[in-house]
Amino acid sequence: MESTAYYPGSVGEIVQGSIEGIDVLTSCPINLYTKVRIFEDNCTYNYQRNYKTYKFMFNMLKRWGHESFAETLKIYINSRIPIGKGFASSTADLCALYSALIKLFKRKYNEIELMEECLKIEPTDSIIFNKMTLFDYKNGRFKKKIGSYMEFYVLIFEGKDRINTIEFNKKDLPQHKDISDLIPNLIEGVRERNLKKLAFCSTESIVRNQHRLRYDFLEDILNIMKKVHGIGILGAHSGNCLGIILDDVEKLRYYKNYNNDNELKGYSTYLVKTIKNVYN
């Protein structure tokens, strides 16, 4: 009895903020994946005893009336998604685990079921949905699908520190800035496949919310963005990465030239691409 599934992470949030008093976000999946394998094993060895995934699995088994499998099913995770940096690594693990479980127990995919169970574990990224979705990531009270995911490149600048999503969201943080004015432009950008409109919204969103999670290297990223002719930035609102949105991957050559300046020592830099489909 065994099943395997893959799921992508995301890169920060396209936007995150408050709409009519509700905190929402929307993200795009990227070409970095987690692979989750579940299998039966009576051995007491715990493999990778990840609290979030085992709690999620127990909750799903209980929901489906299969609690008897809780002691013998084991989880093995092989992930290329950075942890604690704002790439939705935990959400990706839970989604991959859910896909593996429904394969194993021959159940149909249920978006509402997945959303409810993810939110029991922690605040959840919007990549649980098959389209770009404005989502109340804490309570699930609001979700609005705004269009298909878009493909574009992001030049990532990843810091060394990690942020625990659960602990971060438990803090007494300042309120999100209102982003209601950005939403019509974002929806137009997604539905028109206009990357410049999307990039404007993502840039404004991260700049507005610096009071919640400050990026000391934000100005450096904005300067590099101008040098490489990027069209905007996006960032993790609970993580440690910023990215420059590129509408042409050839612009990466400009960065390689400027990289000799060592403008951002201590940061990992690499290219990711957003993808159109979260399912494997």
- Tell me the pLDDT tens digit for each residue of 77-130: 999 999 888 899 999 999 999 999 999 999 999 999 999 999 999 999 999 999
The overall average pLDDT reported for the chain is 89
Residues in Cβ contact with 260 at an 8 Å cutoff, skipping those fewer than 6 apart? none
Which of the given ranges, 43-47, 126-130, 219-223, has the highest pLDDT on average?
Answer: 126-130
Give the model's pLDDT for residue 256.
65
280 or 32: which carries more pLDDT confidence?
Answer: 32
Give the model's pLDDT for residue 48.
58
Q: What is the mean pLDDT of residues 187-196?
A: 97
Residue pair 151/273 in contact (Cβ under 8 Å)? The answer is: yes
pTM for the complete prediction?
Answer: 0.91
Tokens, residue 177: 């800035």
Give the model's pLDDT for residue 207.
92
Q: Is the pLDDT score of 44 beyond 80? A: no
Q: What confidence category does residue 259 fall into, taking pLDDT thresholds of 50, 70 and 90?
A: low
Give the model's pLDDT for residue 163.
67
Strands across the sheet with 2-10, in order? 2-10, 29-40, 73-79
Give the model's pLDDT for residue 148.
96
Q: Is the pLDDT score of 231 beyond 60? A: yes
Q: Is the pLDDT score of 42 beyond 90? A: no
Question: What SS3 string covers the chain?
Answer: CEEEEEEEEECCECEEEEECCEEEEECCEEEEEEEEEEEECCCCCCCCCCHHHHHHHHHHHHHHCCHHHCCCEEEEEEECCCCCCCCCHHHHHHHHHHHHHHHHCCCCCCHHHHHHHHHHHCCCCHHHCCCEEEECCCCCCCEEEEECCCCCEEEEEECCCCCCHHHHHHCCCCCCCECCCCHHHHHHHHHHCCHHHHHHHHHHHHHHCCCCCCCCCHHHHHHHHHHCCCCEEEECCCCCEEEEEECCHHHHHHHHHHHHHCCCCCCEEEEEEECCCCCC
pLDDT tens for each residue of 130-184? 999 999 999 999 999 999 999 999 999 987 776 666 666 666 777 888 999 999 9
Between 14-28, 130-144, 238-252, the lowest mean confidence (pLDDT) is in 238-252
Between 2-16, 217-231, 252-266, the lowest mean confidence (pLDDT) is in 252-266
Give the model's pLDDT for residue 171.
67
Give the model's pLDDT for residue 248.
83
Tokens, residue 29: 């999946």
Give the model's pLDDT for residue 280.
58
CATH fold of 2-273 reads Ribosomal Protein S5; domain 2 (3.30.230)
Q: Is the pLDDT score of 239 beyond 70? A: yes
Q: Where are the domains of the chain?
A: 2-273
- CA–CA separation, 258 and 157 (whole Å): 14
Give the model's pLDDT for residue 211.
83
